Amino acid sequence: MAAPKRRRSQEWFGREGKMGFIYRSWMKNRGIPQDQFDGRPVIGICNTYSELTPCNSHFRTLAEHVKNGVLEAGGFPLEFPVMSLGETLLRPTAMLYRNLASMDVEESIRGNPLDGVVLLMGCDKTTPSLLMGAASCDIPTIGVSGGPMLSSWYRGQRIGSGTNTWSLSEQLRAGEITQDEFHEAESCMHRSHGHCMVMGTASTMASMVEALGVGLPGNAAYPAVDARRNVIARLAGRRIVELVNQDLPLSKLLTREAFENAIRVNAAIGGSTNAVIHLIAIARRMGVELGLDDWDRLGRGVNTILNLMPSGEYLMEDFCYAGGLPVVIRELGEAGLLQRDALTANGKTIWENCRDARNDGPHVIMSHAKPFKHDTGIAVLRGNLCPDGAIIKPSAATPALMQHKGRAVVFEDIDDFHARIDDEHLDIDESCVMVLRNCGPKGYPGMAEVGNMPLPPKILKRGITDMVRISDARMSGTAYGTVVLHMAPEAAAGGPLGLIENGDLIELDVANRRLQLHVSDAELARRRAAKKPAKVHMERGYWKLYVEHVNQANDGCDLDFLVGKSGAGVPRDNH
Ligand code: FES
């Protein structure tokens, strides 16, 4: 019989002599008894708690519940902090730091005596950064999301994080509400712990954690303040000890089948466009070759069955009461749109977890046969404006605009946009195509969520709420509109987006997956020759590293040298 595998933590705590003394003795300063070093699984609890990340402000409590679970199962829990990315405060955009945080996670796991890890994540970028870092180490891993905030109510109506921020600020700009009413709505919107409670990026990524099988069933929808959220944390603490005992690394869960399930779930929930970038980045850390074509192919024929903001009417709390993500997964399974055998963190297949899920809210979760919206998977566009692809979220777009030809109104960058958008003399009408450039990974830098440009006030005042907008930026998962995003290559990397001139004709044809600039190749070549090559220069620090190494959106915006994994080999001794 083969000898049992020596745990990596034993390369620290199981040592004798000087190094064993060093590795254990300092750990004892807070009262850890000798028996904790006897070879039991050492579990890291990777915490993104920060007062600068309001959505994760309850994570100290969550970590305590994970710890209890680890102890109950006979493990040794050790909590550690990593860089936390708060979407609302971090400038110029939290996305700039996603890869930096992932490096923190990866090196913290590999450099420490950990056999397994529980990832605590909530606000948008905290989920992909932790999954990316963990994937590059590939030890047993479970994800626990922090859960959404309770529903917000303002004057008798549900209002959703972000989603109604955009609509209320447009009402304010159009003079339909007062500044006092705006402030009142601000106080109503976020009234409990948790992350944004619409199907924005945080809720989408929490759903991805569950759909990928890295989280336990129920991970996506239980509100942050629901006791069952703490139960999930506790169960994750127990289960991670078993995963270590079974020697089941993250790569057993993050398979191609798991990513295929996640892409279809994203379509069914009307999930955020940001998931496209994040899932590609996570998959490629794990060595799974996921690309834009997978998104288009797998999303085709998948209907949105969730009636949640920003595409619909309800909020995450309603989703929870309706039965949560297992109901959605069951619907996909019954429609033949699920890789049923994909393994999940609790040891069961995704189908075993979800096949008996009960729908207690058919007004919130509809059936795939009678969906909320038909065929609404993320559409991947190609054409002379985006040779490496661009995306649009059909469930959040205006159907009448999905086939549209209009005159370009170009904004050179976000400062140009802010300087001119409110100008009554801006030469624009609702048939135009708004173009924003230099907002991609290198150009902004960090690819900010500015692609859903607010409409000019003179158009809003006429009651028009949507126009075709195209850019190399991202869009908040809470936003909506006929918005083409992630155009690649971006303008700052020499993409054709940089060649558009005011007045050019642009054609969007979502059904045929086309985005075309009606300008001849010869004229585009002339413009390119006359243009100074785009060059983004940063003097020093992480920003310099980032702009020199960031991949384009179609490749997940990872840093080129971070793609792939290095495993969890034990580094040499420190003394
Ligand atoms: Fe944190 Fe929306 S701002 S999830």
Nearest protein CA to atom 3 of ligand 1, as residue: 87
DSSP string computed for 445-493:
TS--S--SPPPPHHHHTTT----EEEESS---TT--SSEEB--SS-GGG
The answer, yes or no, to whether any atom of ligand 1 lies below 6 A from the CB of 294, is no
Tell which atom from ligand 1 comes closest to the C-alpha of 53.
Answer: 1
Residue-wise pLDDT tens digits, 31-78: 999 999 999 999 999 999 999 999 999 999 999 999 999 999 999 999
Alpha-carbon gap, residue 375 to 303, rounded angstroms = 5
- Residue that has been written with the tokens 């009413």 in this structure: 181
* Helical H segments across 157-305, by residue range: 163-173, 179-189, 201-211, 227-245, 256-269, 274-286, 292-299
Give the residues across from 332 on adjacent strands: none
- Looking from the CA of residue 477, the nearest atom of ligand 1 is 2
User: Could you tell me if the CB of 205 is within 6 A of ligand 1?
Assistant: no
Compute the distance between CA of residue 525 and CA of residue 540 in angstroms, rounded to an integer: 34
> What is the distance in A from the centroid of ligand 1 to the CA of 194?
8
In the beta sheet, which residues pair with residue 314? 308
* Paired tokens of 274: 């940001």
**H or E stretch covering 509:** strand 505-509
Testing ligand 1's pocket by substitution, the residue of 50, 87, 192 carrying the most ligand atoms inside 8 A of its CB is: 87
Give me the mean pLDDT over the 438-447 stretch: 97
Q: CB of 497 within 8 A of CB of 490?
A: yes
Q: In the structure, what pLDDT confidence band is assigned to residue 152 with cuts at 50, 70 and 90?
A: very high
In short, whether 226's Cβ falls inside 6 Å of ligand 1 is no
DSSP state letters, 186-226:
HHHH--SSSB-SSSSHHHHHHHHHHHTTSS-TTTTTS-TTS
Q: How far is the CA of 411 from the centre of ligand 1 (A)?
A: 27
Q: How far is the CA of 130 from the centre of ligand 1 (A)?
A: 16
Residue 3 has a pLDDT of: 59
In whole angstroms, give the CA distance from residue 575 to residue 218: 45
The residue assigned the tokens 């000898």 is: 3
HSE of 472 in the Cβ direction (CA atoms, 13 Å)?
37
Please state whether the peptide bond connecting residue 489 to the residue before it is cis, i.e. omega within 30 degrees of 0: yes
Q: Is 516's pLDDT higher than 70?
A: yes
Residue nearest to atom 2 of ligand 1 (CA): 196
Residue 94's identity, in one-letter code, is A
In terms of Cα–Cα distance, which of 220, 208, 219, 396 is closest to 309? 396
Q: How many CA atoms lie within 13 A of 394 on its CB side?
A: 29
Nearest CA to ligand 1 atom 1: 123
For residue 478, the ligand 1 atom closest to its alpha carbon is 2
Residue type, 562: L
Ligand 1 centroid–CA 62 distance in Å is 18
Centre of ligand 1 to C-alpha 307, Å, is 20
Per-residue pLDDT of 364-422, as tens digits, reads 999 999 999 998 889 999 999 999 999 999 888 999 999 999 999 999 999 999 999 99
Q: Is the pLDDT of residue 478 over 90?
A: no
> Which token pair is 136?
């590059």
pLDDT confidence of residue 170: 82
Which amino acid, one-letter code, is at 427?
D
Taking the CA of residue 88 as reference, the ligand 1 atom at the shortest distance is 3
Count CA atoms closer than 13 A to 246's CA, side-chain side. 15
- β-pair type (390-392, 379-381): antiparallel
Question: Is 94's pLDDT higher than 90?
Answer: yes
